[in-house]
Amino acid sequence: MITKTELKHLEESNISYVTKSAFENMISNFYKEELSFFLMNLEVSNSISSNNTLTAEFLLMERLFHIFGEENIKVYRSQIGRFKISVINLNTFNFKRQLKELISFFKIPIKTEVGYIFLNIRVGVVYSATKEPVQKLILRSRLALLYSKDNQFSIYNKNMYKRYYIDIKLEELLYDAYNENEFEPFFQAYVDAQTKEVVGAEVLMRWIKSKDKIIPPVLFIPVLEKNKFIIEVELQFIKKLLTIYNVWKSKYKKEFPLSINISAVQLSNLNFIEEIEKIVKEYNISSGVLTFEITESYIIDNIESAASTLERLKTLGFKISLDDFGTGYSTLTHLKSLPIDILKIDMIFIKNITTEKKAEIIVEQMIEMSRKLNIKVICEGVETEEQYSKLKEMGADIIQGYYFSTPIPKFDFENKYLK
């Protein structure tokens, strides 16, 4: 724990930041002297309040000096919480180890006498061996920062440039697509394993760029997640989905469950959940119709906040489905403590179920365990008759996969299953 006196002391310490031009000159000189060095582009921020960003900066400097040695580093502070730092005379191995040490200090809240300080730190790194003019090195470190995650560092590589230009272009196109309302739900049937009846569907987003250009989510959702635009896009998408649903409901007098995928960025956004609540009221959707599919990795990465977010969704009447189950380091313990209604066994297990005894045993056990925990099981990626029969035999609840249907547009889904 850091005492009040230590904090005060820290804040009164005289940190000597260098100016921008001094920093740039210095790097040029490193070159002339053939010194090897690392350039870090570092961002430190408070997770919630920003009133102690300055304290954060002091803590950061204290750690930096402690880990790298005050004599080895020079710091230019470009904005509040943003720094460019050069570290000289190091080998890569040491540098990575020290960076990890720095980051691990910020990973858990810092306890002080006046309360905890929650900080995020991100670091983009470039190594001098790339021998480029200063401006280019700085740009590269910024790119590396852009592609780093909270409490991680990323080291510049050439592909980042390519990715950057593609991402910028894609961002613009995605913004146009949002304005043109081009995101469309496709539907993939959920089938009762015992009766082969269609009992619902997974809704999968597609970007219909033009009539014959259908873009799958893997190509654009990561960009939307990065710039957080996924929130707006998904809300627009859900409105479109619920409009379709309500038309079907009154036309066919049928209600059936729909599963929507949501990612970590969305679940961590309080406003997103409030907006969903409003939309569901506005569209008069019965409780229990919507299930949210969340991935196992979201829970692992957000273990503290996940429980309360999921409880909140449950209170609002939504069901929770754990997607891609078995692909992370498995969360059997979480199944007990989290409010999960459905578990989706990932297709990597289903794939080998008829050829590998081990896969068969694992799936059988997952089904058995879920039954005991009163959790429904969906088996993803069923592609063959043999796989289907096996799963039916094992007592699986619901099946999804190309054996029954691929994800299809609304008209096909309506013609195939609703009429």
Which residues would be at the binding site for ligand G (CB under 6 A)? 188, 204-205, 216-218, 221, 234, 237, 261-263, 293, 323-324, 347, 380-383, 400-402, 407
Interaction of residue 293 with Mn ion, rule CB under 5 A: yes
Which of the listed partners (ligand G, Mn ion, none) does 380 bind, with a CB threshold of 5 to 8 Å by partner kind? ligand G
3-state secondary structure of 298: helix
As measured in angstroms, the least distance from the Cβ of 108 to ligand G is 28
Residue 48 vs 218, nearer CB to ligand G: 218
Residue 55 vs 331, nearer CB to ligand G: 331
Tell me how far CA of residue 290 lies from CA of 55, 200, 224, in angstroms.
Answer: 44, 10, 23
CA 18 centroid distance within chain: 36
Dihedral of alpha carbons 265, 178, 312, 116, sign:
positive
Which of the listed partners (Mn ion, ligand G, none) does 397 bind, with a CB threshold of 5 to 8 Å by partner kind? none
CA 60 centroid distance within chain: 26
CA–CA separation, 282 and 276 (whole Å): 10
As measured in angstroms, the least distance from the Cβ of 232 to ligand G is 12
CB 285 within 8 A of CB 242: yes
As measured in angstroms, the least distance from the Cβ of 263 to Mn ion is 10
The stretches of 120-218 forming alpha helices (DSSP H) are 134-146, 159-179
Dihedral of alpha carbons 146, 151, 156, 159, sign:
negative
CA 13 centroid distance within chain: 38
Residue 86 vs 405, nearer CB to Mn ion: 405
Which of the listed partners (Mn ion, ligand G, none) does 204 bind, with a CB threshold of 5 to 8 Å by partner kind? ligand G
Which of the listed partners (Mn ion, ligand G, none) does 325 bind, with a CB threshold of 5 to 8 Å by partner kind? none
Residue 182 vs 324, nearer CB to Mn ion: 324
Which of the listed partners (ligand G, Mn ion, none) does 263 bind, with a CB threshold of 5 to 8 Å by partner kind? ligand G
Token pair recorded at residue 269: 């956004």
CA–CA separation, 17 and 12 (whole Å): 14
Residue 141 vs 261, nearer CB to Mn ion: 261
Token pair recorded at residue 111: 């306890």
- x/- string (CB under 5 A) for Mn ion, residues 314-333? ---------x----------
As measured in angstroms, the least distance from the Cβ of 65 to ligand G is 42
As measured in angstroms, the least distance from the Cβ of 334 to ligand G is 18
Nearest to 102 by CA among 80, 125, 79: 125
Return the biggest CA–CA distance within the chain: 79
As measured in angstroms, the least distance from the Cβ of 171 to Mn ion is 25
The binding site for Mn ion (CB under 5 A) comprises 261, 293, 323
